[in-house]
Amino acid sequence: MNDIADAGEAHVPLTEKYGGGESGPMSVRTWLRMLSCSMIVEKRLRRRFIEHYGTTLPRFDVLAALDRRPDGITMGELSQMLLVSNGNVTALVRQLQGDGHVTLQQDPDDRRSLIVQLTTTGAAHFAELAAAHHGWIADMFKGVSGDQQRALYDLLSVVKTSIAAESRDR
């Protein structure tokens, strides 16, 4: 493989998770290739958010979810959207609240629930982070043509459907 991964200042060839290689079932090799790509992108995003903005990828994820729900969302719904525990969401939301990026209000329909919502400051902060995020992703994909990206997106949809069908069979 001719790809290059960030390793501090040095550049090292990318390898597949667990060594990869050209042997083994194609389904396993494909999964390892997807996993390797995903892990590399995530690692770069995590590092760049910390280096450039002093924030974390999980905090960005919370802001992104809230940006999609401008009227606010309950903490439980946010936890489900992000596929993380209520405790993790609570800690992240409290940090963001302390920074003035979100507000917490009691749900008028269910006094046991809290609704979290972006503040104006939080929306502006998220817009800045999202622009950087989009640019970083675009840079990582600049060697893949638009047609290739569309084909990959469509193929991954097929994979996602296959995965969903398999879980129903078990």
CATH code: domain of residue 109:
1.10.10.10
Residues 11 and 74 in one domain: no
Question: Structure tokens of 163?
Answer: 């995965």
pLDDT at 55 over 60: yes
Overall average pLDDT of the 25-30 stretch = 92
In this prediction, residue 33 carries a pLDDT of 93
Q: What is the pLDDT of residues 130-165, one digit of tens each?
A: 999 999 999 999 999 999 999 999 999 999 999 999
Residues 63 and 95 in one domain: yes
Supply the angle between the helices 57-67 and 120-140 in degrees, to the nearest 10. Answer: 110
Confidence category of residue 68, pLDDT binned at 50, 70, 90:
very high
Residues 49 and 62 in one domain: no
Residues 86 and 75 in one domain: yes
Residues 34 and 70 in one domain: no
Q: Which residues, at least 6 apart from 166, have a Cβ–Cβ distance to it below 8 Å?
A: none
Count of structural domains within the chain: 2
In this prediction, residue 21 carries a pLDDT of 63
* pTM of the model as a whole: 0.81
Q: Give me the percent of the chain exceeding a pLDDT of 70.
A: 85
In this prediction, residue 166 carries a pLDDT of 86
Residues 12 and 78 in one domain: no
Whole-number mean pLDDT of the chain? Answer: 88
Q: Which residues, at least 6 apart from 43, have a Cβ–Cβ distance to it below 8 Å?
A: 6
Give the range of the structural domain holding residue 71, as residue numbers without chain letter: 55-145
Confidence category of residue 12, pLDDT binned at 50, 70, 90:
very low
Overall average pLDDT of the 78-92 stretch = 92
Q: What is the pLDDT of residues 104-131, one digit of tens each?
A: 999 888 888 899 999 999 999 999 999 9
Residue 155 lies in a domain: no
Q: Give the Å distances, CA to CA, from 150 to 30, 37, 77, 91, 156.
A: 18, 17, 31, 37, 10
